[in-house]
Amino acid sequence: MIIFARPATALGLLMASVATPALSLEPGTTKPHEMAQTGGDACTSLTNALESSGDKTGPVTLAQAREYQRRGDQSSCRLALQRIELGDRPSATTPALPGPAASTVQGTATSPPSTPSTPSTPSTREVGATQLKSIAVWNDKERLGEVRRVVRGPDDKRYVLIVAGGFLGIGEKLVALQIDSLRHNGDRLISTLTEADVRALPDVSSNAGYRDLDAAETIAMRP
């Protein structure tokens, strides 16, 4: 028999001979390039070669070769013979699996259900000026005083004037707390000042620069 194999190193030839028997053509079979010149029956030679090898390690299967022969597809048979002559062997390939696709219902793509958004707490709330009158002012521990007036100061900022300090009406004074520094928490205003801080504020009871806000005016306050 004539064995056709591509040139390789000695180690490569040894591994090939151990791993897989080479496909050979029948003795006296015309070589592919000679068939192309003489017009020989390439499909008969191809099927004979595959039958003699037990249909092993060829570039095509015996069933494919017979189909070429049935159709008279000489060009495909010649190509297969050329590959046999060069020692070509098919490599096992596995079709790539498709990647994960979006789930569909009756052919219509569907997206994951959206998570309902949680309503955010408003950063401020509108409070009427009249709502602040007579309301108590506290820090995190103690009561600091009570709102007497809601005013606009000489600097055009808004304040609450609270009665603070004293005992039984003695020693009381009117001090101004800027509204932007306070939080509105239901029935009270919350301040970061201590009682000592409030006692240290100047008395504004005689200051004519503070003007009462209009009753319809609203103030944006932090809750």
**DSSP single-letter state for residue 186:** T
Give the model's pLDDT for residue 25. Answer: 46
List, in sequence order, every residue forming a beta bridge with 59; answer none if it has no partner. none
DSSP class per residue in the chain: -EE------HHHHHHHHHHSPPPEEPTTPPPHHHHHHHT--HHHHHHHHHHHTTS-S-SS-HHHHHHHHHHT-HHHHHHHHHHHHTT--PPP--PPPPPP---EETTEE-PPPPPPPPPPPPS-EEEEHHHHTT-EEE-SSSEEEEEEEEEE-TTS-EEEEEEES-BTTBS-EEEEEEGGG-EEETTEEE-S--HHHHHTSPP-TT-TT-EEPPTT-EEEEB-
Residue 218 predicted with pLDDT over 80: yes
Q: Is it true that domain 125-221 has CATH number 3.60.110.10?
A: no
**Could you read off the pLDDT of 47-80 as tens digits, one per residue?**
888 887 776 656 778 888 889 888 888 888 888 8
Q: How far apart are CA 177 and CA 190, in angstroms?
A: 11
- pLDDT for 49 equals 82
pLDDT over threshold 70, residue 31: no
The string of pLDDT tens digits covering residues 136-175 is 999 999 999 999 999 999 999 999 999 987 666 677 899 9
Q: Using pLDDT thresholds of 50, 70 and 90, give the confidence band for residue 19.
A: very low
Mean pLDDT value across the chain = 74
CB 222, CB 124: distance < 8 Å: yes
Q: What is the pLDDT of residue 211?
A: 93
Res 1: pLDDT: 45
pLDDT above 90: residue 124: no
Q: What are the structural domain ranges in the chain? A: 2-85, 125-221
What local confidence, expressed as pLDDT, does residue 93 receive?
A: 42
